[in-house]
Chain A
Amino acid sequence: MTNYREIAWQGLWKNNPGLVQLLGLCPLLAVTATLTNALGLGIATMLVLIGSNVLVSLVRDYVPKEIRIPVFVMIIAALVTAVQLLVNAYAYGLYMSLGIFLPLIVTNCIIIGRAEAFASRNNAFSAAFDGLMMGLGFTLVLAVLGATREILGQGTLFDGADQLLGPWAKALTMQVWQVDTPFLLAMLPPGAFIVMGLLIALKNVIDKKLKERQPEAAVQPSVTRARITKVS
């Protein structure tokens, strides 16, 4: 199965980890108060996902079926530790603001889910591509959620981007609108749940519109018979 187009479509839209599989909701809801945090966590998750998919795919023929889950978990844990140390070394501000959710990537169901469902059955290249696309899909949802909540909550975008990208990124921070009083709910977890629900609803609407536009092309010309004898 090396249909890259299908893999991309699955990861980015049809089987999006955030919007459809609803995996990894805990970090999704907890750290998306700002766009910077969302991007940081999304990219970290994506890195782990690509790495774990490649490694799992490489060892898939040597791991006995009975103990595959512990092996996968150890691979993932090692990768998460590496990513955590990297973030700690090169983006300390982000490390502090992501807090516990960075090490908690190890428990994110997307990663073990993709390892089990895709990487352990496919070759390393398509597994890497799947990791990239699933990670990208997750990051996109995080980013949209983070941007919405940041604009609603404090009226800014890319606040604290320098923590993620270095000092030059301070220029990225923009004031979308002036808020006199921060809208606390958007920044608290309930706001994340509400925005998330609205995002899922939006995706369903788009899917429905797409479906409505398609049926003319998709209808199969079936053979019509005057009389159908009962088969069973």
Chain B
Amino acid sequence: MAFKIASSPHVTRNMHTSTVMQRVILCLLPGLVVQCAFFGWGTLIQVLLAIIVALSCEAAVMKLRNRSIKASLSDNSAMLTAILIGVAIPPLAPWWMIVMGTVFAIVIVKHLYGGLGHNLFNPAMAAYVLLLVSFPVQMTSWIAPSTVALNTPSVIDSLQLIFNVGAHGGMDQFRLGIDGISMATPLDTLKTDLSLGLTTTESLAKSIFDGGTGVGWFWVNLAYLAGGLVLLKLKAIRWHISTGVLVGLFVASSIGFLLSPDMQASPLFHLFSGATMLAAFFIATDPVTAATSPRGRLIFGALIGVLVYIIRTQGGYPDAFAFAVLLANLCAPFIDYYVRPRTYGHSAG
């Protein structure tokens, strides 16, 4: 009788990368649907465009590297990156922006560092930062939520705006069209108002902040929260990073709010505005670029939360998650070095 000898780990979960990625993508869908409901078809078009570009880039790079194209396309990671970029950028941004961002994410951030599992930075967030730093005007003009906008663009309108053809042809007309229907995000509006000398309460009385955290944004965040909770239940992600992010942001913004309630938004506003829930559950939890041990992940998440609060209140950009995630990515090896789980049978330290 032969004993089968296998090396550790002996307890494994039968869950491949493609399954995890697939579940993450499925759990993103409710948020995507709500985002489309409030901000029109643009988001969906951007996501589709990004997926096409990402898969082509992935296939091209795999061919250059003499690897199996099929294996890398079927692990769904490129598709997830594409979807994250698609939901992060403004719905009516011109097509070349998302193409450029996606190519950058897949080719430079992911594959030049060695492909899936070797990248230092979160590809989607690096692409977002590339676009935000390069084209600040386009990246900060969000479309008004459908409930307050006078007219919402149809599918055809969105396509024409994104691809800059048809009735909106010509750059000037295109810009005019954008300005007619676009507006700053709630986070941006609040920041501008505070710099103009208004207090938080005065600023929040505007119509865009219906209900305290901004029209549409509250529901979008709630949908991503729901998706994230399902993801936790499916065990596709662990709870440490998301909890760290939310607690970090909550604590930091509570301290700020208690110190100067007139000049700071409430913790609730921070938690349910901008990209908070999307980032906490779907972006920060990327297993490749995060810290690895449970304690390390808590620290990693809390670092993101605190950084987001600092950059949101002190920085020049409207939302801060992309920067915070990249900075925390940089710190992940450092955190892993100092936070090592105790090996069984050895004393701590």
Contacts and interface: CB of A to CB of B under 8 A. Distances in A.
Contacts of B138: 181
A184 B134 contact: yes
Interface in A185-232: 185-186, 188, 190, 194
Nearest to B133: A185
A188 to B, nearest CB: 7
Q: How large is the interface on A (under 10, 10 to 19, 20 to 34, 35 or more residues)?
A: under 10
A101 interface: no
A186 B104 CA distance: 13
The DSSP consensus for interface residues of chain B is: helix
A129 interface: no
A194 B103 CA distance: 14
Contacts, number: 17
Contacts of A194: 108
B15 interface: no
A185 B133 CA distance: 7
Contacts of B133: 184-185, 188, 190
A185 B130 contact: yes
A181 B137 contact: yes
B134 A185 contact: yes
Contacts of B134: 183-186
A180 interface: yes
A180 B178 CA distance: 15
B135 interface: yes
Interface string A151-194: 00000000000000000000000000000110111101010001
Contacts of B137: 181
A181 B134 CA distance: 9
B108 A181 contact: no
Interface in B58-113: 108
Which of B135, B136, B137 has the most chain A CB atoms inside 10 A of its CB? B135
B135 A184 contact: yes
B216 to A, nearest CB: 27
Contacts of A185: 130, 133-134
Contacts of B171: 180
B274 to A, nearest CB: 22
B92 to A, nearest CB: 15
Contacts of A183: 134-135
A184 B134 CA distance: 4
Contacts of A181: 135, 137-138
A107 B66 CA distance: 44
Contacts of B136: 184
Contacts of B135: 181, 183-184
B322 to A, nearest CB: 14
A157 to B, nearest CB: 20
Interface in B122-156: 130, 133-138
Which of A181, A184, A186, A194 has the most chain B CB atoms inside 10 A of its CB? A181
Interface string B246-280: 00000000000000000000000000000000000
B16 to A, nearest CB: 32
Interface in A18-67: none
Nearest to A187: B134
B308 to A, nearest CB: 21
Contacts of A186: 134
Contacts of B108: 194
A79 B19 CA distance: 65
Nearest to B130: A185
A73 B130 CA distance: 40
Nearest to B138: A181
A-B pairs, 8 with minimum CB distance: A185-B134, A184-B134, A183-B134, A180-B171, A185-B133, A181-B135, A185-B130, A184-B133
8 contacts: A181-B135, A181-B137, A181-B138, A183-B134, A183-B135, A184-B133, A186-B134, A188-B133
Interface of A: 180-181, 183-186, 188, 190, 194
Interface of B: 108, 130, 133-138, 171
